[in-house]
Chains A and B, each alone.
Chain A
């Protein structure tokens, strides 16, 4: 693709992320506004942190869910953290899945928590794929 086509691709992918509810446009723009010549990779750095932090949280949830009796209070703490980091990067679908999990948690519903957890992981993986493709395309467009 030539430079123009790459730019279009970037805009298209970006638009899709917003329209399909994966990412909050306002928050992404907030992050982009913090990027400058001295900090040209700020957004990607934050997203990178989100990946590693999410991996940690997912592992914690996994572990806590497998313990008996289920420690709902601990789960709620972890989900609170997860929700927080989702908010910070504008990860809407993952955040909503977290909210759903928390509702089951508050109700002491272990099965509901398990199924919500599957949803969280699903949404997280999808978002990650989409973001990685997007940033890849941004790089390509910049280099062209």
Chain B
């Protein structure tokens, strides 16, 4: 056919909860993505071939277009996994999204600063998964989002509004108040 279809996008989902893995898998498949779901950061790295120390001779070339991971996991947290991915020459350009049941501003900020593209509050919904498309389509380049919540200018670290459910990173800056513009003050 020669056309790029959604079914070509492969998402690696990482979550220690069996229910959440089933949920995220279904959410992603509904959006026509190919999904591999694993239950730990170590299994994720294994799948990505990172645990095979010699990356050059790693013959298993697995194409992963996006990694979505839970934050709170025993052993390696989602944040640890994010760091390892960003520190890897071969993996650092894969977009990473973090999910968490807890709305903790410092946690969110840390993940976005470390290079996560988005931070989703659990339970993840279809509307959240729809936000993945731009990251998958554009690869590593970032896009400026349409301004929203212009009346909601807040400074510093804030919790995610229950209506927003997600936080996005723009280019190399942080956008905590979700108005589509980089924050000028980061407390």
Interface residues of A (CB under 8 A from B): 27, 30-31, 33-34, 36, 39, 42, 45-46, 49-50, 53, 77, 80-81, 83-85, 87-90
Contacts and interface: CB of A to CB of B under 8 A. Distances in A.
Contacts of B32: none
For the complex of A and B, list the 6 residue pairs with the smallest distance between their C-beta atoms, beginning with the closest.
Answer: A85-B19, A34-B26, A88-B123, A88-B19, A84-B101, A49-B19
A84 B23 contact: no
Contacts of B30: 34, 36
Interface residues on B, range: 10 to 19
A85 B21 CA distance: 11
Interface in B17-58: 17-20, 22-23, 26-27, 30
Given A83-B101, A84-B101, A88-B17, A46 B22 contact: yes
Contact of B22 (A27, A33, A49, A77): A49
A87 B23 contact: no
Given A49-B22, A84-B101, A88-B19, A34 B27 contact: yes
Interface of B: 16-20, 22-23, 26-27, 30, 72, 74, 101, 122-123, 125-126
A39 B122 contact: no
A8 to B, nearest CB: 29
A87 B101 contact: yes
Contacts of B16: 81
Contacts of A81: 16-17
